[in-house]
Structure 1
């Protein structure tokens, strides 16, 4: 550590009278690290890395030696953002020989990317003749120098290879992952990080630690204020109901691990703000190499916190007013940032690195903000104030749209708003067909933040409460008391309307941090009820919490991913055993199963004897029935819910359930689509659970349908169309003006 501080002290002296020349920096680093070579490659436009300074290589190569990003070890380092520590570089498969450098005698090589704000500006390299791996302290020293070098390069013409010029004036279309449906048209507001770090090297280490401690306290107070119920800010429902996500964020904020690492970097000789920036960069590089989507999403939370801590250290950057209908663009977005910007009036969000599993995505859906993620290259082309369109329904972000396109979206937005106003009149009406057949339209939700949607939509209850969403948002499975509080809040807000709780559906694409399951096909692997039965303590804890939350009220519990009646019976036995130990007992206890695994269709007689209700999970059912992974884009539209095999299966299920008086419902995505909902109701599935956005449109659609007449139409189409039914059904519905 003392050697590290000496290097920083020498760098401070070198920079004392302004930016240090690159030639002086490479000489100093080569000397202090006892390296025979130190070189700096700077990224130029067109993804070119140019040798800009060197100590130990042929100086005639400066300005002549160039590599493309991805070419050679230096290019690979720049492309991946990965440190390359090689004892025998010239025998590495990526090695690219450049004779003008004279580097033949040097065997070992350490290359560190020079990064700033998530972008690579160059590569810093040291080399030695002796084959060896560079030590951890040497790597740490070179990373520190790279951080200081980034500030120098940012002001001296280095680029991140992004195309500029004419391309920044023409329309661009980016396709990403829909995070929340809806349309927004407006001017761009770019998410800015905290003020830039100017003072890198510390003079008084205890004073820097004290500054860090004070800034952490200010940051925590700021989070408490943000997450508090403050009616004057107009965010009561947003903040008060989002406890699961925001409490999870608080846990990350107060985690001593990353703060200890910041303090360690300060002890190495850096200022508090430079240490925060350094640790944020380390976390970024580590997280971007993790394949699990949910874990990568935690990166946004960490960067959000780092920016907040930097703001607490350096002061709030100046804030320009947000224009009406503005669209926020960000590389990553944390939940606290989203709440901040929502309060300031943004109309839409586009995020380069985000997935539906992220905290910000969960909040965007709950707040009703149109949002898109996974928009690679978007920020490189956008400028503050550019006009843009967020089409959250199609997952499209249109930058600088043509006037006709912009006007078309504005007209669509106006029409949508008018349609919503018209649909709002259906909120208090029952769901019933034109010929008097009643239906139940329920909600699929996963956070208490979404509970106000019960009143907004007039839904008949909650047909699917995904209990794992709160756990994923929190980052761990809560204890009994915490789970009880979550479930009790749901029942309280439902105010007597039915609620069906699905037990933890973890595994596949829903993994908690620290969970590593190596399976070739995790969707059909160790997940959901299989985990609960193999880890009965985990399942018992949740079942006990559900029973306690009921507090003597009616309770409905549903088990996911049931493949055999024996599995359902075992899970049911665990619930009944817990029910004997809890007081007061529920007023009534209904125990049901998801039907997602086709194998259950050959066990219907036994299932009808043991299940109180059955809910079709259309998403998994379709992928298992057709052996088509729903996560594979090329298979999205290949297999249709409205096909003979699926409808035959549902009809068989309804016929088996009717004499047994076992209610059948559906809680998959199919229930939210008008044609599918119509067909399901015609087959006898009259309880449909769906996202809040679908309730009023589906209710209005059913009011136009003579169900008895439609059943005859459906039977005729099924007899005549063979495997494909959708086109014929859609034609009939359009002719009847039931769907547009």
Structure 2
């Protein structure tokens, strides 16, 4: 295409000059539409900007009636411009007035124009407006012309995103790039966080999108692509895939996309239209993101993350920037926004400044969620497109209870949540008043409330909550947040600190539960078809006895002169427990032989997580000193529903008869054998579920620190006998019609229990 000003590259250079001029935003827009119209040999060029009220406003025009500027407003379901904005796709017509979506606006004077070319103004796949050219003659716009206008629209996107146009808008009709957004997701960690966005992996900011030398930019793009492909090939060839930080399947997808000729061709075309290599990557990815976000195929939508990661890798290659989080300049009230992150990454931040966490992925039982709860950080997961919608520094509110995120909230929403924060503070004060009251129900049943923990940061919660002890100390978290395998001395120091903090209260240490989805960055991974059911936890420990022995030795030495409680995870057969206990006995003998001080007493238990153990409870309780039910895993295995898969994780209710009958089996077996039984899964952290667990016989619950107050408040007012009288007949009901959750909720409301 060659227009009056010499083609798209000349146009982009002229646009750069206009962008640099010290003129008003309206004058700049007016100059830009004149330049585009002349270059495209079009009688009309118009810019429509999407507003916060989801309408499109005419901001500038060359060729239409200029009195219509800031006067013409249309909905996104109205007219050809609305169609382009809604679908985020270009639309080229030679006879626009006969299109079924054509909408006549008399104030514009556009009835004399037949040809129409509209392209969306996109940034990060999100529509900011529409750029239109029109001609009187019925003409077919070429692919080159469409490409040129799309490239120009990218420059317009940066102008809109800069906030320069906000001064032209009326209150309540500002450009939508800064519009308030109400996003919904999955509640991960209770709490309210008010603060400002910090992107965990900040987007590469492109400062120059207009090329000076097209051939140089083409060479830069080709070179970066070559390096990217080589780096991905190298990752796949390495033995230790864990060093790459990503799963092999994702890397295979990266390799497939990185070698895709269509992707490369589109970026080359964008460079030839006058963009820098970085601008071309951004443009192509923004277009791709816009299309996939509107696709109904879930497979395509899942691939969006792969494409985003690939584009970000390529941008880092082009700019020479490494993958790094901007942790040095955290605001006082930081809200982290990320696709996903590891527990170690979260702990890298200054925890005194973190108020909330927003994840595009993340499940209720993921390990970063567990750490967020320990830190008292409000967290919401499964927030679609969060990292593209949020900009660094944006004000944001995270409601961890409701699973809601308010991005750039209006004043009334901010005030409402500020009032909520004040209300929660008062409620926490009421819970604090219950701190020293014994955890005994209204009808005299003592129910011990203990803590789930795993890091030093958890230890102050023991005193704060007056918990009966630590019912589950997840020892693997120390391994997961470390960059190298923790030495025995490091493990010893942690376990001793935990016991010191607990004082005379019991601490139950779970031996390493790694494998499956708990990958250590420094340990070679084993690819498995179904890792949750594979080589993990006690299975790995028995096959690598040196690993288990070193941990047990550290635990025994840390507990010198005190009682020690150790339990083994994911025991599926009593013989596994026997083998693990034998290793522990050998370590006791070793320490005794070498003159080390020994624990006063060692209690050895097992976790009931694998359903096979439900049918070996009597055999197990003749061997074990106690049992702990891991409800997270037991429920997922009972229902064959992967708890990390959002499509099925919430499909089955843990308050259904099947799950509650399983829990009751364990509680009753413990009672028969006179052995203590605890439930230490996330189930115990919810007041309604705690009522059900007390009703089926549990007298010890281990829960998150933030949940102690709400659960204790319910326990103190609960009549366990009445709850049991309601629940047990429902468990015996064979009609399949029992609605246990609804019945329990009605019971709680009638009894005035604070849920």
Which category of TM-score, normalised to the shorter sequence, fits these structures? 0.5 to 0.7
Q: Determine which of 652, 657, 662 is the counterpart of 1:649.
A: 662
Provide closer, same or farther for how the CA distance between residues 351 and 304 of structure 1 changes in structure 2, counting only shifts above 3 A.
farther
Provide closer, same or farther for how the CA distance between residues 385 and 472 of structure 1 changes in structure 2, counting only shifts above 3 A.
closer
2:705 pairs with 1:692: yes
Paired with 1:567 and 1:618, the residues of 2 have a C-alpha distance of: 20
Q: Any residues of structure 2 matched to 1:654-693 within 5 Å, and which? A: 654-693=667-706
Query: Which digits, 9 at most, give the CA deviation of each residue in 1:192-235, with x for residues without a partner?
Result: 97999999xxxxxxxxxxxxxxxxxxxxxxxxxxxxxxxxxxxx
Query: Which digits, 9 at most, give the CA deviation of each residue in 1:528-569, with x for residues without a partner?
Result: 111111111111111111111112211110001110001111
Paired with 1:353 and 1:714, the residues of 2 have a C-alpha distance of: 36
Q: Any residues of structure 2 matched to 1:61-140 within 5 Å, and which? A: none
Do the aligned partners of 2:713 and 2:754 also contact (CA within 8 Å) in 1?
A: no
Paired with 2:721 and 2:495, the residues of 1 have a C-alpha distance of: 39
TM-score between the two structures when normalised by the length of structure 2: 0.58
- How far the C-alpha of 1:168 sits from its partner, in A, is 2.4
2:491 pairs with 1:478: no
Aligned length: 510
698-707 vs 180-189, greater mean Cα deviation: 180-189
RMSD: 4.7
- How far the C-alpha of 1:716 sits from its partner, in A, is 4.2
Do the aligned partners of 2:338 and 2:386 also contact (CA within 8 Å) in 1?
A: no
Paired with 1:379 and 1:422, the residues of 2 have a C-alpha distance of: 37
Query: Which digits, 9 at most, give the CA deviation of each residue in 1:6-28, with x for residues without a partner?
Result: xxxxxxxxxxxxx99xxxxxxxx
Q: Any residues of structure 2 matched to 1:239-638 within 5 Å, and which? A: 306=324, 327=335, 343=352, 347-350=355-358, 364-372=372-380, 375-382=383-390, 387-401=395-409, 405-513=413-521, 514-582=523-591, 583-638=596-651
Match of 1:125 in 2: none
Do the aligned partners of 2:451 and 2:469 also contact (CA within 8 Å) in 1?
A: yes
Q: Determine which of 172, 178, 182 is the counterpart of 2:181.
A: 172
Paired with 2:158 and 2:500, the residues of 1 have a C-alpha distance of: 55
Q: Secondary structure at the match of 1:703?
A: helix
Paired with 1:566 and 1:503, the residues of 2 have a C-alpha distance of: 17
Q: Secondary structure at the match of 1:474?
A: coil
Paired with 1:650 and 1:357, the residues of 2 have a C-alpha distance of: 19
Provide closer, same or farther for how the CA distance between residues 174 and 656 of structure 1 changes in structure 2, counting only shifts above 3 A.
same
Match of 2:741 in 1: 726
Provide closer, same or farther for how the CA distance between residues 479 and 68 of structure 1 changes in structure 2, counting only shifts above 3 A.
farther
Paired with 1:363 and 1:669, the residues of 2 have a C-alpha distance of: 13
List runs of 5+ in structure 1 lacking aligned partners: 1-18, 21-44, 49-65, 70-77, 80-97, 102-120, 123-152, 200-251, 253-276, 282-287
Provide closer, same or farther for how the CA distance between residues 161 and 405 of structure 1 changes in structure 2, counting only shifts above 3 A.
closer
Q: Secondary structure at the match of 1:487?
A: helix
Provide closer, same or farther for how the CA distance between residues 431 and 415 of structure 1 changes in structure 2, counting only shifts above 3 A.
same
Do the aligned partners of 1:349 and 1:370 also contact (CA within 8 Å) in 2?
A: yes
2:647 pairs with 1:639: no
Query: Which digits, 9 at most, give the CA deviation of each residue in 1:36-79, with x for residues without a partner?
Result: xxxxxxxxx9689xxxxxxxxxxxxxxxxx9999xxxxxxxx99
2:191 pairs with 1:182: yes
Match of 1:738 in 2: 753
Paired with 1:291 and 1:607, the residues of 2 have a C-alpha distance of: 50
Do the aligned partners of 1:568 and 1:593 also contact (CA within 8 Å) in 2?
A: yes
Q: Secondary structure at the match of 2:481?
A: helix
Query: Which digits, 9 at most, give the CA deviation of each residue in 1:384-427, with x for residues without a partner?
Result: 77543211223321224456654543443332221111001111
Paired with 1:502 and 1:446, the residues of 2 have a C-alpha distance of: 10
Do the aligned partners of 2:373 and 2:706 also contact (CA within 8 Å) in 1?
A: no
Paired with 2:143 and 2:442, the residues of 1 have a C-alpha distance of: 83
- How far the C-alpha of 1:342 sits from its partner, in A, is 5.2
List runs of 5+ in structure 2 lacking aligned partners: 1-15, 18-84, 91-117, 126-140, 145-149, 164-173, 209-244, 246-277, 283-304
Provide closer, same or farther for how the CA distance between residues 717 and 424 of structure 1 changes in structure 2, counting only shifts above 3 A.
same
Provide closer, same or farther for how the CA distance between residues 520 and 701 of structure 1 changes in structure 2, counting only shifts above 3 A.
same
Paired with 1:457 and 1:192, the residues of 2 have a C-alpha distance of: 35
Paired with 2:207 and 2:411, the residues of 1 have a C-alpha distance of: 42
2:721 pairs with 1:708: yes
Match of 2:286 in 1: none
Query: Which digits, 9 at most, give the CA deviation of each residue in 1:674-701, with x for residues without a partner?
Result: 1221222222210100100111211111
Paired with 2:531 and 2:517, the residues of 1 have a C-alpha distance of: 8
